[in-house]
Structure 1
Amino acid sequence: MKARTIRRLTGRALATTVAAALTALLPATAHPAPAGPHSATAARDTGCGVLAPGASATAQSAVQAACSQIGVWYSWGGGHGATPGPTYGYYDGSDPDSMHDDERMGFDCSGLMRYAYYRATGKDLLNGTADDQFHSSHAAARFSAGQGTAPLVPGDLMFWGSGHVHHVAMYLGAGRMVEAYESGTHIRVTAVRTGGDYAGAVRIDPSGSPTPPPADGGTVFETWGTGVRTHSSPSVRASVVDTFAGPTQVSVQCQEHAETVTAEGYTNDIWSRLSDGSWLTNIYVKGPASLPGVPDCGGSSPAPPSGGSKPHQTWGTGVRTHSQPNVNASVVDYFAQPATVNVVCQRHAQEVTADGYTNDAWSRLTDGSWITNIYLKGPAWLTDVPTC
Structure 2
Amino acid sequence: MKISDTRRRTSAAFLGASVLALSAFLSAPAHAAPAATCGVLAQGASATAQAAVNAACSQIGVWYSWGGGHGATPGASYGFYDGSDPDSLHDGERKGFDCSGLVRYAYAQATGKDLLNGTADDQFHSSQASARFSAAQGSAPLLPGDLMFWGKGHVHHVAIYLGGGQMVEAFESGTHIRVAPVRTGGDYAGAIRINGSGTPIPPPANGGTTFETWGTGVRTHRTPSVNGAVVDTFAGPTQVSVQCQQHAESVTAEGYTNDIWSKLADGSWLTNIYIKGPASLPGIPDCGGSSTPPPANGSKPFQTWGTGVRTHSEPNVNAGVVDYFAQPTTVNVVCQAHAQEVTADGYTNDAWSKLTNGSWMTNIYIKGEAWLPGVPTC
Which category of TM-score, normalised to the shorter sequence, fits these structures?
0.7 to 0.9
- Aligned CA-pair RMSD: 3.1
* Alpha-carbon separation, structure 1, partners of 2:356 and 2:69: 34
How much does 1:70 deviate? 2.5
* Alpha-carbon separation, structure 2, partners of 1:194 and 1:303: 47
On the 8 A contact 1:229/1:244 being kept in 2, the answer is yes
* Alpha-carbon separation, structure 2, partners of 1:297 and 1:165: 33
Does residue 1:304 correspond to 2:304, yes or no? Answer: no
Does residue 1:252 correspond to 2:238, yes or no? Answer: no
Once the two structures are superposed, the pairs formed by residues 1-388 of structure 1 within 5 Å of their partners are 45-80=35-70, 84-92=74-82, 95-121=85-111, 123-126=112-115, 128-130=117-119, 133=123, 139=128, 141-143=130-132, 145=134, 148-149=137-138, 151-159=141-149, 167-188=157-178, 189-193=180-184, 196=187, 198=189, 200-205=191-196, 207-298=197-288, 299-306=290-297, 308-388=298-378
On the 8 A contact 1:79/1:106 being kept in 2, the answer is yes
On the 8 A contact 1:321/1:370 being kept in 2, the answer is yes
* Alpha-carbon separation, structure 2, partners of 1:270 and 1:124: 31
* Alpha-carbon separation, structure 1, partners of 2:144 and 2:187: 22
SS at 2:91's partner residue? Answer: helix
Structure 1 residues 193, 375: CA separation in 2 closer, same or farther (over 3 Å shift)? Answer: farther
Letter in 1 for 2:182: A
Letter in 2 for 1:382: L
How much does 1:175 deviate? 4.5
Percent identical = 74
Letter in 1 for 2:291: S
* Alpha-carbon separation, structure 2, partners of 1:293 and 1:161: 30
Structure 2, unaligned runs of 5 or more: 1-33
CA deviation digits over 1:239-287, x for unaligned, max 9? Answer: 2111122332221222333333222333333322110011112222234
SS at 1:60's partner residue? Answer: helix
TM-score (norm 2): 0.78
TM-score (norm 1): 0.76
* Alpha-carbon separation, structure 2, partners of 1:181 and 1:290: 33
SS at 1:46's partner residue? Answer: coil
How much does 1:144 deviate? 5.8
On the 8 A contact 2:70/2:326 being kept in 1, the answer is no
Letter in 1 for 2:264: L
Structure 1 residues 330, 70: CA separation in 2 closer, same or farther (over 3 Å shift)? Answer: same
How much does 1:158 deviate? 3.5
On the 8 A contact 2:284/2:291 being kept in 1, the answer is no
- Number of equivalent positions: 341
CA deviation digits over 1:120-139, x for unaligned, max 9? Answer: 44x243463236655666x3
How much does 1:238 deviate? 1.5
How much does 1:62 deviate? 1.9
On the 8 A contact 1:254/1:297 being kept in 2, the answer is yes
Structure 1 residues 83, 279: CA separation in 2 closer, same or farther (over 3 Å shift)? Answer: closer
* Alpha-carbon separation, structure 2, partners of 1:86 and 1:335: 18
Structure 1 residues 66, 290: CA separation in 2 closer, same or farther (over 3 Å shift)? Answer: same
Structure 1 residues 111, 369: CA separation in 2 closer, same or farther (over 3 Å shift)? Answer: closer
* Alpha-carbon separation, structure 1, partners of 2:335 and 2:129: 45
* Alpha-carbon separation, structure 2, partners of 1:190 and 1:333: 31
SS at 1:291's partner residue? Answer: coil
On the 8 A contact 1:164/1:334 being kept in 2, the answer is no
* Alpha-carbon separation, structure 2, partners of 1:254 and 1:353: 38
How much does 1:109 deviate? 2.1
How much does 1:372 deviate? 0.8
* Alpha-carbon separation, structure 2, partners of 1:82 and 1:53: 34
On the 8 A contact 2:71/2:308 being kept in 1, the answer is no
Structure 1, unaligned runs of 5 or more: 1-43
SS at 2:338's partner residue? Answer: strand
* Alpha-carbon separation, structure 1, partners of 2:267 and 2:137: 33
